[in-house]
């Protein structure tokens, strides 16, 4: 078994070097299309995985239906949860035509700008595998983002795709960079106007691999091509899906139990620990969502907290000594929260 595993790893290494080598042979800007360019170039829409605008990540999954040519070692839906890692092997492979649905602790709202980003493990700016994206507010009715693919012909397994010819498909950017989506783009869709999908309460995001051999189509009935056929971990390799806020200084707002609203960030804890994604802050936010918001007294406390805590947090954020003192005071509350979250 060890020999087989080592052989697979060697094949993956050779595959990676082949992709990088072939990508280097493609002149930059050759036959460029009308859509945003690769990560790092002027005009790109790529979002780096550590961008502070991320306020939450997928917390659960369902309906993982792997397609063809996926080895068991890559059938790992749990690896699509949490923050994007940017590691090539830390993914869930969808396989050819496969799909997965990710869930979130709190509904995603249609705010100004990008609302979420999907991360794939593309090994270069040109070795890209794509997926359709659909969203739902109840897990039953879904609406799909429009997409465009202007790649004119089939792409071999080690071939290249020009990202400037692709729009509205996940997987547009290399590993570590997410493809962003704006819920406002769905506002005119029948599923939305008929009330089947609420863009201010998205709870499910479905990722569906686009088989790259031209048998699937974009919104204009163009054939969709990406490297084909690949094997072992064929199709879209999902790293993560992160929820974006339009401005890192504006807390993410969501609807809690019984119609109550709360802020996505914990002001005082975030000021003390320095990031809304710091593990103590995440624990306190989970305690709020999973415990406090499920009771009348808890919701009343949350309302008071968000009424009076912002100015206090602003003072704490400006003083290192205060930040250290508040961190020490919050640790016991974090421990208690973890106990109740078990």
pLDDT level of residue 259 (50, 70, 90 thresholds) = very low
Residue 221 CB coordination number (10 Å): 6
User: d(Cα 44, Cα 171) in Å, to the nearest integer?
Assistant: 14
Contact (Cβ atoms closer than 8 angstroms) between residue 231 and residue 67: no
pLDDT given for residue 31 in this prediction? 44
User: Which residues make beta-bridge pairs with 244?
Assistant: 54
User: d(Cα 18, Cα 10) in Å, to the nearest integer?
Assistant: 12
| Structure tokens given for 315 | 């003072």
User: d(Cα 1, Cα 24) in Å, to the nearest integer?
Assistant: 35
How high does pLDDT run on average in the chain?
Answer: 84
Q: How far apart are the first and last CA of the chain?
A: 37
User: d(Cα 170, Cα 85) in Å, to the nearest integer?
Assistant: 17
- Which residues fall within 8 angstroms of residue 44, CB to CB, at 6 or more apart? 36, 37, 38, 173
3-state secondary structure of 265: coil
pLDDT digits (tens, 9 = 90+) for 75-87: 999 999 999 999 9
Between 161 and 6, the higher pLDDT residue: 161
Peptide bond into 198 cis (omega under 30): no
Strands (E), 35-98: 47-48, 54-57, 60-65, 92-93
Examine the pLDDT at 247 and tell me if it is beyond 80. no
User: Which residues make beta-bridge pairs with 255?
Assistant: 261
pLDDT digits (tens, 9 = 90+) for 280-291: 888 887 888 788
Name the H helices within the chain: 2-24, 190-193, 267-273, 279-290, 296-317, 320-341
Domains of the chain, by residue range, sit at: 2-244, 253-341
3-state secondary structure of 51: coil
pLDDT digits (tens, 9 = 90+) for 196-215: 999 999 999 999 999 999 99
CATH superfamily of 2-244: Galactose-binding domain-like (2.60.120.260)
Contact (Cβ atoms closer than 8 angstroms) between residue 65 and residue 101: no
8-state DSSP, 25: T
pLDDT digits (tens, 9 = 90+) for 16-58: 444 444 444 343 333 457 899 999 999 999 999 988 788 889 9
CA dist 284 → 129, 174, 261 (Å): 37, 33, 16
């Amino acid at each position: 078994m060890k020999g087989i595993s080592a052989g697979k790893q060697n094949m993956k290494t050779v595959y990676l070097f082949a992709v990088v080598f072939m990508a280097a042979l493609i002149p930059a800007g050759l036959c460029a299309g009308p859509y945003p360019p690769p990560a790092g170039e002027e005009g790109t829409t790529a979002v780096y995985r550590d961008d502070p605008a991320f306020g939450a990540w997928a917390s659960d999954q369902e309906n993982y239906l792997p397609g063809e040519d996926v080895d068991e070692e890559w059938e790992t839906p749990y690896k699509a949860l949490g923050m994007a890692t940017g590691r090539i092997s830390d993914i869930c492979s969808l396989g050819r035509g496969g799909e997965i649905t990710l869930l979130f602790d709190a509904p995603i709202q249609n705010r100004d700008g990008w609302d979420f980003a999907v991360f794939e493990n593309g090994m270069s700016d040109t070795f890209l595998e794509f997926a359709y994206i659909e969203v739902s507010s109840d897990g039953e009715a879904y609406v799909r983002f429009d997409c465009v693919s202007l790649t004119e012909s089939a792409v071999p397994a080690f071939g290249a795709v020009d990202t400037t010819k692709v729009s509205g498909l996940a997987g547009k950017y290399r590993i570590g960079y997410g493809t962003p989506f704006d819920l406002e783009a769905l506002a005119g869709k029948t599923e939305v106007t008929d009330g089947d999908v609420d863009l201010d309460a998205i709870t499910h995001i479905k990722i569906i691999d686009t088989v790259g051999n031209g048998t699937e189509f974009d919104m204009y009935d163009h054939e969709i091509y990406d490297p084909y056929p690949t094997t072992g971990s064929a199709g879209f390799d999902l790293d993560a899906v992160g929820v974006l806020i339009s401005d890192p200084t504006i807390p993410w707002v969501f609807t809690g139990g019984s119609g109550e609203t709360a802020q996505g960030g914990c002001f005082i804890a975030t000021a003390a620990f320095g990031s809304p994604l710091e593990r103590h802050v995440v624990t306190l936010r989970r305690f709020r969502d999973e415990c406090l918001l499920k009771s009348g007294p808890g919701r009343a406390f949350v309302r008071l907290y968000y009424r009076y805590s912002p100015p206090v947090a602003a003072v704490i954020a400006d003083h290192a000594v205060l930040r250290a003192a508040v961190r020490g005071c919050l640790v016991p509350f974090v421990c208690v929260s973890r106990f109740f979250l078990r």
